[in-house]
Structure formats: C-alpha cells, structure tokens
C-alpha cells in the first residue's frame, strides 16, 4: 500500500494529517527546487494555513532530476514529515504540494504553470550556486554556461533565473500581473541578490521593463534538514503502515522571518508562526554567521577528523569549545543589534541543535559547495573583524579547513568526493602544491570568492598558519587544543 489521497484515511491515529481536503487545493505558489529543505520548511508553514484558503497549494519544480516528481506524483504529492530529537519523534503527512514537475523534461509545463494567473508567488530553494552569481559581489555571472544557454534559448531555459524571466515576459504579454519572487536560500539579502540577477538577465534579454516592478522580499529561513536516507524511508514506511517513497526528516526547531512585500497576496503564514518584519537583514546576518558559519567549520574540520555527522563532530574533544568560542568571541561582536533578542540563548540553542543525536546530518553534505558558501558564512565576518582590528583565529581555521578539504585528500590519504561548482578549478590551482603558503596563495587567486580579502596580508598569514597547523598535526589534534579542560 502506498501513501496517497485514497489511503490517507488508513493512516494510524498517531500520524497527523491535513485538516483540509488535499483534492480541493489549487496552485498559488510555484516552488523552484523541490528538495528536502522546502518540504520540511516552507511547505509545512503553508500546510498549516491551507484550511483557511485552499488557493495556495504548491507546484514543486525540480530544476535537475526527476527523482522527487517520480517519488511523489504517485502519492498525489503527499509525504510524511518526521520531526525528531533526543526526546522523541512525531509524524505528520503534509498535503500542500499538489503538483510536481521536472523542468529539464517538461519546461513548457513549468512555464505554463508559472505564467498562470493563479500563480502569485514563485519561491526558490535552488542553493547558493543556483543564482549563477559571483559570490563575492552578488552580480550575475554572465559567463556561466547555463546563463549563456538561457540567453540563447529563452523559451527552453535551464536556470531558475531563465525560467523566471521567461514567465514574467509571458505574463506581461498576456496582461497578467507579476508574481512575487521569494528567495529562501542561505544568502545575505537573498531577495536583493535574486532581484539583481533577474534584472540583469532581463536586461540582457532586452526585457528590462518587464521585471522592474517585481517584488523580491528577503527571507531568513532556518531548519536543519539532512538528506533522507534509505533507513529513514524504511522506518517512516513502517510507522505509517504504508509506503512513502520520499519522506523528510528534520528537527523540532523552525524559523522563517520574511519581509512583508507581496503585492499579489500571500498565505496567512503569520498564523503558522512566520514572523513578518520590514527588514530581515539583521536576522539573516545572525543566522548565516552563527549557524551556517559554525556548520561549515564543523563540516570541514569534522570531516577531516573522521566525524561522519555533525553530532559526531560536536563530540570530538575541543570541538564544542571551539564552536562556542567562535560564535561568542568572534562572530557575535560583528552582528547588527536586534532589539529584545537574547543572543546568548540563541547560541546555546544552536549548540544543542548541532548535538541532536537523532539527526544524522552528514559533514560531507554540509561541506558541499564551499566556494559558494564561505563568503557569507565566514569571510564577511572576517572582513568585519579586520575592520575592527579584532582577532579571527577560529574563523581562519574554518577557512583553512575548507582549503585543506577541497584539495581532495583526507588525512589517511583517501580521496574526498569534493562537490563544488569550482572543484575542477581548485584541483588545478593546488595540483602538486604541498607548502601551506603556496596553497593559500593559490586559493587567494579566486577573487570571485575572496574579494578584497585576497589581498589582505594578515588574512593570508593567519589562514596560512592555520593550514600549516592542520597539515602538520591533523584536525583532531588542532581541535583538541581548544578544549577548555
């Protein structure tokens, strides 16, 4: 038996399910990048308020592979959300995703759905690299092969930006007002970044006027959602008493802070706990620098020290002290003030979230795409510390750990499966180098990643020292030196 609208009634009592009729839901949101994160975050907030207005269902679009569509379409888009920590777990079937499309296989269906007047929001979780921007300054990478492709083939796009502009052009031609663009990726000023790449792409297509009034509110999104494993699938299916081909597993914590600029309307998300603010940037900076900056540091150092998961990395001697020190002494002083916000409590919560024993969040997963993540997670913080004339040794260790990791060989001499849009470029840059000074110098030629820090002597020296220590002593011993005793 498979999870579907037909079998919903046969779920065990303990499994929560939609409080509306999923068959009555129509599409109001097209979501680009229907991965685990969307399904454990925005789709859950939407599910909670659909009973009020069933016109806000989600059409989930994969920009790459058909896997999610093929798993969920036979289930009418239904899937289970398993929320777990050391204290226990809960299961809920989510019904907000009512249509699934795979862009490379059915681009016309995607464009038709995005151009439909019923679609009033297009949201995105396409990861940092999905914006096809230069990470150091947020401008469109006009040499990106997919961007070049989309400029040459405007009605058969590959990228999110290409789809968005093509759909906005169609809407304008049909007299349909634009949708609101809602970026939900871990980028500072994600709405601004999206607005900028869309505007530039449209300009290159000769359609600048079409996109000029599109609203692009920024958002801060937070929930830790590891990739679903075969064991998760099996365990959830047992608990449901029926098969679910693609459940998602996550932690209890969730947060969504959004700028309230939705000229075409929006779901009543505030009823589900979404916080609407005039300016999200202080929240974003805090989350990106504290949570994601720590995450990346944990991922590279942890992986090198042989820790497979974040919880295992946190258990390495000295690691919790290192991360706590990084957050308190080096990151927190750089954060913009947030009136009434208890930063110390936020940091404490992060430490316990990282320790969640029930989540198997792989260090390798977080280690992906470092060239796209480091600028907003560690480098911006370092830049602010430099301006303030303050120390940044722990942050530099995180950067050095990435440099060590991305060279592609672990401490036992085994190859690392480095996933990064610049993996080949990095491999070529560091090929044959064994001296920390030369390695750091090679990385610092990536000015699209490091920006002005590439020419900063103290940054170069501090990272070189950190990398030298890592290469000489190994990650576990370096981490252990931070143990407070």
Q: Which residues here bind ligand CS2, judged by CB under 6 A? A: 186, 222-224, 291-292, 295, 365-366, 373
Shortest distance (Å) from residue 418 CB to ligand CS2: 15
- Residue closer to ligand CS2 by CB (options 182, 291) is 291
Contacts 24+ apart (CB under 8 A), 381-389: 381/289, 381/293, 381/330, 381/331, 381/334, 382/453, 382/459, 383/451, 383/452, 383/453, 384/334, 385/330, 385/333, 385/334, 386/453, 386/456, 386/458, 386/459, 388/333, 388/334
Which C-beta is closer to ligand CS2: that of 160 or that of 224? 224
E strand or H helix that includes residue 97:
strand 97-102
Q: Provide, rounded to whole angstroms, the least separation between the CB of residue 310 and ligand CS2.
A: 9
Report the nearest approach of ligand CS2 to the CB of residue 291 (Å): 6
Tell me whether residue 419 or residue 425 sits nearer to ligand CS2 (CB atom): 419
CA-CA distance, 318 to 478, in Å (whole number)? 9
Q: For ligand CS2, which is the closer residue by CB, 253 or 276?
A: 253
Task: Compare residues 64 and 149 and give the one whose CB is closer to ligand CS2.
Answer: 64
CA distance 441 to 246: 44
Residue nearest to ligand CS2 (CB): 295
The stretches of 305-336 forming alpha helices (DSSP H) are: 310-314, 319-325
Distance in Å, CB of 288 to ligand CS2, minimum = 8
Choice between 236 and 290, CB closer to ligand CS2 = 290
By beta-carbon proximity to ligand CS2, the closer residue of 377 and 383 is 377
Comparing CB distances to ligand CS2, the nearer of 106 and 308 is: 308
Tokens of 294: 């720590």
Beta strands 219-222; 255-259: pairing state:
antiparallel
Q: Which has the closest alpha carbon to 420: 370, 482, 356, 378?
A: 370
Q: What is the closest distance, in whole angstroms, from the C-beta atom of residue 186 to ligand CS2 in the complex?
A: 5
Other Cβ atoms within 10 Å of 232 Cβ, number? 21
Q: Which is nearer to ligand CS2, 120 or 295 (CB)?
A: 295
Can you tell me the distance from the alpha carbon of 383 to that of 455, in angstroms, rounded to the nearest whole number? 12
- Residue 440: is it exposed, middle or buried by C-beta count within 10 angstroms (0-12/13-18/19+)? buried
Q: How far is the CB of 362 from ligand CS2 (least distance, A)?
A: 9
How is the beta sheet containing 88-94 ordered, strand by strand?
A: 88-94, 79-85, 248-250
The distance of closest approach from Cβ of residue 313 to ligand CS2 in the complex, given in angstroms and rounded to an integer, is: 12
Beta carbon of residue 295, minimum distance to ligand CS2 (angstroms, whole number): 4
Nearer CB in complex with ligand CS2: 11/126: 126
Q: Which residues contact 461 (CB under 8 A, 6 or more apart)?
A: none
Q: How far is the CB of 145 from ligand CS2 (least distance, A)?
A: 24
Of 243, 148, 259, 125, nearest to 205 (Cα)? 148
Phi then psi for residue 92, to 5 deg, are -140, 135
Contact by Cβ (8 Å): 98, 5: no
Whole-angstrom Cα Rg for the chain: 22
Q: Residue 256 Cβ, how far from ligand CS2 at the closest point, in Å?
A: 10
**Which SS3 state, helix, strand or coil, does residue 20 take?**
coil
CB of 223 vs ligand CS2, minimal distance in Å: 5
Q: What's the closest the beta carbon of residue 192 comes to ligand CS2, in angstroms?
A: 19
* Residue placing its CB nearer to ligand CS2 in the complex, 200 or 360: 360
Q: Spell 377-391 as b/e; 16+ CB within 10 A means b.
A: bbbbbbbbbbeeeee
Looking at beta carbons only, is 39 or 223 nearer to ligand CS2?
223
Report CA-CA distances (Å) from 318 to 325, 476, 481.
10, 9, 7
What's the CA gap between 20 and 94, in Å, rounded?
A: 11
């Amino acid at each position: 038996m498979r999870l579907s609208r037909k079998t919903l009634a046969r779920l065990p009592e303990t499994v929560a399910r939609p409080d509306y009729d999923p068959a009555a839901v129509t599409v109001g949101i097209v979501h680009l990048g229907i991965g685990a994160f969307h399904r454990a975050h925005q789709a859950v907030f939407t599910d909670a308020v659909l009973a009020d207005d069933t016109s806000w269902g989600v059409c989930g679009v994969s920009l790459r592979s058909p896997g999610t569509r093929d798993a969920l379409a036979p289930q009418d888009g239904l899937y289970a959300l398993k929320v777990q920590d050391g204290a226990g777990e809960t299961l809920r079937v989510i019904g907000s995703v009512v249509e699934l499309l795979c862009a490379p296989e059915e681009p016309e269906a995607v464009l038709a759905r995005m151009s439909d007047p019923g679609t009033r929001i297009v949201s995105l979780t396409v990861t940092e690299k999905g914006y096809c921007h230069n990470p150091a300054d947020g401008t469109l990478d006009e040499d990106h092969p997919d961007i070049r492709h989309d400029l040459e083939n405007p009605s058969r796009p590959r990228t999110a930006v290409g789809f968005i502009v093509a759909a906005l052009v169609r809407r304008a031609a049909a007299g349909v007002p634009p949708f609101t663009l809602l970026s939900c990726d871990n980028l500072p000023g994600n709405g601004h970044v999206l607005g900028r790449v869309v505007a530039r792409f449209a300009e290159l297509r000769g359609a600048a006027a079409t996109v000029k009034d599109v609203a692009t509110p920024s958002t801060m999104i937070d929930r830790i959602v590891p990739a679903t494993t075969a064991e998760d699938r099996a365990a959830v299916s047992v608990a449901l008493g029926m098969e679910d081909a693609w459940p998602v597993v996550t932690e209890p914590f969730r947060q969504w802070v959004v700028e309230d600029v939705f000229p075409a309307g929006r779901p009543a998300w505030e009823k589900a706990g979404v916080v609407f603010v005039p300016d999200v940037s202080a929240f974003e900076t805090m989350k990106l620098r504290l949570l994601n900056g720590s995450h990346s540091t944990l991922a590279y150092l942890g992986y090198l020290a042989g820790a497979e998961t974040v919880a295992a990395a946190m258990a390495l001697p000295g690691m919790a002290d290192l991360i706590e020190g990084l957050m308190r002494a080096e990151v927190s002083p750089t954060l913009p003030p947030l009136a009434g916000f208890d930063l110390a409590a936020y940091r404490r919560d992060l430490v316990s979230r990282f320790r969640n024993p029930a989540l198997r969040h792989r260090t390798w997963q977080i280690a992906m795409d470092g060239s796209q993540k480091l600028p907003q997670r560690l480098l911006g913080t370092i830049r602010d510390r430099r301006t303030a004339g303050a120390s940044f040794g722990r942050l530099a260790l995180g950067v050095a750990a990435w440099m060590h990791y991305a060279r592609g060989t672990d401490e036992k001499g085994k190859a690392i499966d480095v996933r990064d849009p610049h993996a080949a470029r990095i491999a070529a840059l560091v090929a044959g180098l064994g001296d920390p000074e030369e390695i750091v110098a090679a990385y610092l030629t990536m000015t699209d990643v490091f920006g002005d820090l590439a020419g900063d002597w103290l940054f170069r020296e501090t990272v070189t020292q950190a990398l030298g220590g890592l290469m000489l002593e190994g990650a576990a011993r370096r981490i252990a030196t931070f143990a407070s005793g």
